[in-house]
Structure 1
Amino acid sequence: MYEKTFPNRRFKITLDFLQKHISKSETILDLGVENPFSKIMKVEGFNVQNTSGEDLDIDQSSLTNEHYSVVTAFEIFEHLLNPFTILNAVKADKIIISVPLRLWFSPAYRSKTDMWDRHYHEFEDWQLDWLLEKTGWKITAREKFTNPVKKVGIRPILRKFTPRYYIIIAERNK
């Protein structure tokens, strides 16, 4: 049974942002296969469908469906080689994107065991803003937030004060 507890602070902040900006009557296409957060969105009453695991760098056909009013991309753009192509292909009127921010004290994430679990991009906020502007989107709200970890050391201390995530909502320029 679902309880209003979250595995981490990031899910809580993301859900609050989504609830503030998106009506539950809107239809959402969430980029990526079903995941713990898309399940939370469904339980919270959002009408969500996920893409089916296709390589979005190569196949954007699921993005051209005009039946969705919102596309969400929660921590997926950092794994893609070409987010520009994906943003151009989206037909929805709104998009919500969250990305990990590049940290000056930590290299880009790369799993040692999973060849797909790596970050090709770790953005600075201005880079995502520029990408959206170049693809015809206007940011209407944005937020940065930290992601503290329960570890000891210099990096964990820095993570308490340094924004790690950036979330935006944007609308198509008309």
Structure 2
Amino acid sequence: MSNKNIYPKKRYRLTVEFLKKHISNSESILDLGVENPLSEIMIKQGYQVKNTLGEDLDIDKTTIENTDTDVVTAFEIFEHLLSPFTVLQSIKANKLVASIPLRLWFSSAYRSKTDIRDRHFHEFEDWQFDWLLEKAGWKIIDKKKWTNPTKKIGFRPILRWFTPRYYIIYAERI
């Protein structure tokens, strides 16, 4: 099986590499968000992954509050929440691996025209996300950024080759 089949997107490959650096396969994971291609890849890599069920995490934090997993992962979830602070505070696990799309000065926030839930309420700069985590009781141990180039022609696609789009952190509860 080729890497392209295992990792259909660059961010999946980089996310799994970062996860493997900090989280062992023996640790159980609650992945915020419904089952998705990345959570399926994590399972294929030997992780024990349970996902939330699509509930509105701004309103219903029951699954987060009642889980006994070792780790919580949140990959491109916090930008969709009105109050990521309360979700971060409600996490019982002592380890967190989370990624967000970074705010780009040359591109407005993502907004689906067909799915009201698939919109970005927040697009953070790295320092803002760091501050949010710190205020919610987390200490960042490691972090990484990467670009998301496209093969389109134009000024903004050229900028995407040089401007980091994704930001991932590994943090532990203070």
TM > 0.5 fold call:
yes
Q: CA deviation at 1:13?
A: 0.5
Structure 2 contact 30–67 (Cα < 8 Å) conserved:
no
**In 1: Cα distance, 2:151 partner to 2:42 partner:** 26
Aligned pairs for 1:13-162 within 5 A: 13-162=14-163
Aligned partner letter, 1:156: P
Q: CA deviation at 1:65?
A: 2.7
Aligned partner letter, 1:138: K
Q: Which moved more, 1:139-148 or 1:3-12?
A: 3-12
Give the unaligned 5+ runs of structure 1.
none
Aligned partner letter, 1:125: D
Q: Which moved more, 1:133-142 or 1:57-66?
A: 57-66
**In 2: Cα distance, 1:92 partner to 1:8 partner:** 28
**In 1: Cα distance, 2:15 partner to 2:89 partner:** 24
Distance 1:3 1:59, change over 3 A: farther
TM-score by length of 2: 0.96
**In 2: Cα distance, 1:85 partner to 1:67 partner:** 18
> SS of the counterpart of 1:112?
coil
Deviations 1:62-114 (A, max 9, x none): 11135201000000101110000000100001001100000000000111122
- Percent identical among aligned pairs is 65
**In 1: Cα distance, 2:113 partner to 2:62 partner:** 31
Q: Which runs of 4+ in 1 moved over 3 A?
A: none
> SS of the counterpart of 2:170?
strand
What is residue 8 of structure 1 aligned with on the other side? 9
Q: CA deviation at 1:8?
A: 1.3
Give the unaligned 5+ runs of structure 2.
none
Q: CA deviation at 1:150?
A: 1.3
**In 1: Cα distance, 2:82 partner to 2:31 partner:** 18
